Amino acid sequence: MRSLAFVVAFLLVGVSYGEPRKDYAGAQVLRATPENESQLHYLRGLLMKNVYDFWTEPGAVGRPVDILATAFQLPVLKKTLARLGLDFSVHIGNVGDLLKESRIAQERAEAHRQSSMDWNSYHRYDGIMAWLESLATEYPDLCSIEDVGTSYEGRTMKLFRLGSGPDTNPGIFVDGGLHAREWISPAVVTYIINELVRDRVIYSDLLSKVNFYVMPVINPDGYEYSFTDERLWRKTRSDTDSARGCKGVDGNRNWAFHWMEVGASDDPCSNLYAGPEAFSEVEMRVVRDQILRFKDNLKAYLTFHSYSQLLLYPWGYTSDLPEDWRDLDSLAQDAADALFRVHHKHYKVGSVTHVLYEAAGGSDDWAKGVAGVKYSYTLELRDKGHYGFVLPATEIIPSGEETFEGFMVVANFIRDHYS
Ligand code: 0X9
Ligand code: ZN
């Protein structure tokens, strides 16, 4: 009888590819700030044990770390942190409730959608691609779209090009959606495209002097999985040799520049799994090939993530700075200032290692270190952890508005210095 009940429960909960779906009822996000090296060291060890979902990673003494624990895990985690003398606060009181509320809001917004594309709710992969196609059809002198690859699960990956000038114009490569659960990223990238296209007359000078190469969702399988199965999925969806049936690779540990040297895991069940080899993930290879295709003209690479409100530049693999870091820092400061002026959101500027943590195999490091794109940045969008990855869709437009202003600082700078 008990085994029958187990089988029924198993079927009701739904099990995909050997990974039981997580139960977030009563789950919390705790924020702990290490105050000394030994606490930091302990948190790093905990991260690598891969028991908890670290929403932000331990970087340095004094830098807060957000850790998600299920209701079942919470007592142990709280006891462990207390034993270490690590102060923590409950940052999100019930992740299950938050996910439920956001699902209801998303369903409501989808039901009331007036047009195929808007920025009042988050959009699925096919919808975003169809919208890009429609722009290219409507504005053939300004936009074009091209199939450039196929994801692991067979989704077509597209490159959207924006600009009215020759191919030899300086270029800016923009991508989003590398990490599946960071939904604000594709939303903001599409917001930026929409602004530039809608106000193409106002931006005609820029568009005639700079080319934009945009891929708003570079991890399509993971992104879709985060809608259909597991909202908090981060990685790609490729099969691994994991005995426990764990799937997927962290795309931002998979690039071939100091791969696997630091801040990455060789455990396929880890959210920081770097893959069996550099560029094991077809999606990252597709983006790599597009960057290489235009690299002679690319002056900037912007990759959009969330959350924490940061504007980061290389390196992620070392605490050394690139020799031209002052150039990157000063442009980023100007962008952060412009962004701040819109809704008074503060973005911290600095190198990945100095502001965040050491992590090798990121696309930003590769773009600068291998492709030679000088101004390579990772943007960590809103918020600072109040909602974390479950950012309400009502924040898409304000995020878009402020990020657009920061983006324009970079775009105008490239025009003024390279065209
Ligand atoms: O850890 C990451 O991949 C990024 N943060 S996130 O919370 N979106 O996962 C930061 C990447 C910074 N760049 C490198 N580590 N190279
Ligand atoms: Zn990310």
Query: β-pairing, 156-162 with 88-92?
Result: unpaired
Nearest ligand for residue 179 CA: 2
125, containing H or E segment: helix 125-138
Q: Could you tell me if the CB of 29 is within 6 A of ligand 1?
A: no
pLDDT per position in the chain (419 positions), as tens? 344 444 434 433 333 333 556 889 999 999 999 999 999 999 999 999 999 999 999 999 999 999 999 999 999 999 999 999 999 999 999 999 999 999 999 999 989 888 889 999 999 999 999 999 999 999 999 999 999 999 999 999 999 999 999 999 999 999 999 999 999 999 999 999 999 999 999 999 999 999 999 999 999 999 999 999 999 999 999 999 899 999 999 999 999 999 999 999 999 999 999 999 999 999 999 999 999 999 999 999 999 999 999 999 999 999 999 999 999 999 999 999 999 999 999 999 999 999 999 999 999 999 999 999 999 999 999 999 999 999 999 999 999 999 999 999 999 999 999 99
Nearest-atom index, ligand 1, CA of 317: 16
- Based on the domain organization, do 140 and 84 belong to the same domain? no
Q: What is the pLDDT of residue 363?
A: 99
Strand partners, 376: 301
Look at residue 140 and tell me if it is in a domain.
yes
CA 379 to ligand 2 center in whole angstroms: 9
Q: Which residue stretches of 199-324 are H helix?
A: 204-209, 220-228, 282-294
Q: What is the DSSP letter of 394?
A: G
Q: Could you tell me if the CB of 378 is within 6 A of ligand 1?
A: yes
CA 300 to ligand 1 center in whole angstroms: 18
Query: CB of 333 within 8 A of CB of 347?
Result: no
- Give phi and psi for 323, each to the nearest 5: -65, -25
Q: What is the pLDDT of residue 21?
A: 66
As for how many domains the chain has, the answer is 2
- Based on the domain organization, do 194 and 53 belong to the same domain? no
Q: What is the DSSP letter of 406?
A: H
Residues 250 and 319: their CA atoms lie apart, in Å, by 21
Query: CB of 274 within 8 A of CB of 284?
Result: no
Look at residue 410 and tell me if it is in a domain.
yes
| Structural Rg of the chain based on CA atoms | 21
CB atoms within 10 A of CB 121: 20
Q: What is the pLDDT of residue 1?
A: 39
- Based on the domain organization, do 123 and 86 belong to the same domain? no
- Based on the domain organization, do 67 and 169 belong to the same domain? no
- Based on the domain organization, do 89 and 182 belong to the same domain? no
User: Which residues are known to be catalytic?
Assistant: 380
Q: Could you tell me if the CB of 271 is within 6 A of ligand 1?
A: no
Look at residue 110 and tell me if it is in a domain.
no
Q: What type of residue sits at position 324?
A: D
Domain final residue, candidates 93, 128, 143: 93
Q: What is the pLDDT of residue 93?
A: 96
Nearest-atom index, ligand 1, CA of 359: 15
CB atoms within 10 A of CB 245: 15
Largest CA distance in the chain: 75
Ligand 1 pocket test: pick from 306, 318, 321, 356 the residue with the most ligand atoms within 8 Å of its Cβ: 356
- Based on the domain organization, do 84 and 184 belong to the same domain? no
CA 356 to ligand 2 center in whole angstroms: 12
Q: Could you tell me if the CB of 312 is within 6 A of ligand 1?
A: yes
Look at residue 56 and tell me if it is in a domain.
yes
What length is written for the chain?
A: 419
Nearest-atom index, ligand 1, CA of 234: 9
- Based on the domain organization, do 177 and 39 belong to the same domain? no
Look at residue 46 and tell me if it is in a domain.
yes
CATH number of the domain within which 255 lies: 3.40.630.10
Look at residue 98 and tell me if it is in a domain.
no
- Based on the domain organization, do 153 and 247 belong to the same domain? yes
Nearest ligand for residue 259 CA: 1
Nearest ligand for residue 264 CA: 1
Q: Could you tell me if the CB of 311 is within 6 A of ligand 1?
A: no
- Based on the domain organization, do 51 and 123 belong to the same domain? no
Nearest-atom index, ligand 1, CA of 305: 8
Query: What's the pTM?
Result: 0.95
CA 77 to ligand 2 center in whole angstroms: 24
Closest to 150 measured CA to CA, from 79, 66, 238:
238
Range of the domain at 25: 2-93
Q: Could you tell me if the CB of 365 is within 6 A of ligand 1?
A: yes
Nearest ligand for residue 175 CA: 2
Domain final residue, candidates 93, 109, 140: 93
Give the orientation angle of helix 184-198 with respect to helix 396-418, to 10 degrees.
Answer: 60
Q: What type of residue sits at position 115?
A: S
Transcribe 251-266 into DSSP letters: GGG-SSSSTTSSS-BS
Q: What type of residue sits at position 178?
A: L
Look at residue 330 and tell me if it is in a domain.
yes
- Based on the domain organization, do 284 and 158 belong to the same domain? yes
The helix/strand/coil state of 377 is strand
Q: What is the pLDDT of residue 14?
A: 36
Q: Could you tell me if the CB of 358 is within 6 A of ligand 1?
A: no
- Based on the domain organization, do 234 and 343 belong to the same domain? yes
**Strand blocks (E) in 177-218:** 211-215
Nearest-atom index, ligand 1, CA of 364: 16
Q: What is the pLDDT of residue 241?
A: 87
CATH number of the domain within which 42 lies: 3.30.70.340
CA 362 to ligand 1 center in whole angstroms: 7
- Based on the domain organization, do 89 and 200 belong to the same domain? no
Look at residue 111 and tell me if it is in a domain.
no
Q: Could you tell me if the CB of 58 is within 6 A of ligand 1?
A: no
Q: What type of residue sits at position 180?
A: A
Domain final residue, candidates 47, 78, 93: 93
Question: How far is CA 181 from its chain centroid?
Answer: 8
Please give the structure tokens belonging to residue 93: 């009181």
Closest to 81 measured CA to CA, from 119, 52, 105, 121:
52
